Amino acid sequence: MKHENQNRENQTLVLALLRSQQLFLRAMGPVFRSAGLTASQWDVLETLSNKQALSINDLMRLTLSTSGNLDVVVKNLIQTGLVEKTIDETDRRARVLRLTPAGHQKVAEFLPTHNRALDQIFSGLSAHDKRETIKMLNRLRKKLPQPQKGRT
């Protein structure tokens, strides 16, 4: 009976995580679309804004994207002039991605809208609830298999 309860709890946890993610993305979809972005594009822009220049492998590892999806997202961001692919200054054979001035401007313009939407979504949670949720999700994430650096 104990094993059956554990299975049910595990399944309920997985469904709660998946449904929460889906509802969050559904709530944020109109916010991203209002800026002409997708959630994946914003993930790349925000990551490059915080980390500066990154290889495609590092970006894939940080955003937890698949290579096929990330290639399309990056290609579209390059075409719209928000991201550029340049030669790595420390290894001239390598290529890195970085925000263009227009990409920095897009992040600066969209961030207040993004933050207002997040405030609205999370308004029912106390600061303590948010910290506890972050702590529990980080604990769960550390127990999951991690992508290897430099591997895709």
pLDDT of residue 97: 95
Q: What value does the mean pLDDT take over residues 75-97?
A: 90
Supply the range of the domain harboring residue 132: 2-143
Q: Any idea what DSSP says for residue 55? A: -
d(CA 100, CA 41): 14
Judged against a pLDDT cut of 90, whether residue 29 lies above it is answered with yes
pLDDT per residue as tens digits for the range 33-56: 999 999 999 999 999 999 989 988
Q: Does residue 150 belong to any structural domain of this protein? A: no
Angle at 19 between CA 13 and CA 23, to 5 degrees: 145
Judged against a pLDDT cut of 80, whether residue 147 lies above it is answered with no
Q: What value does the mean pLDDT take over residues 103-111?
A: 97
Q: What percent of the chain has pLDDT over 70?
A: 95
CATH number at residue 137: 1.10.10.10
What is the pTM assigned to this prediction?
0.84
Going by C-alpha positions, the residue among 58, 41, 26 that lies closest to residue 107 is: 41
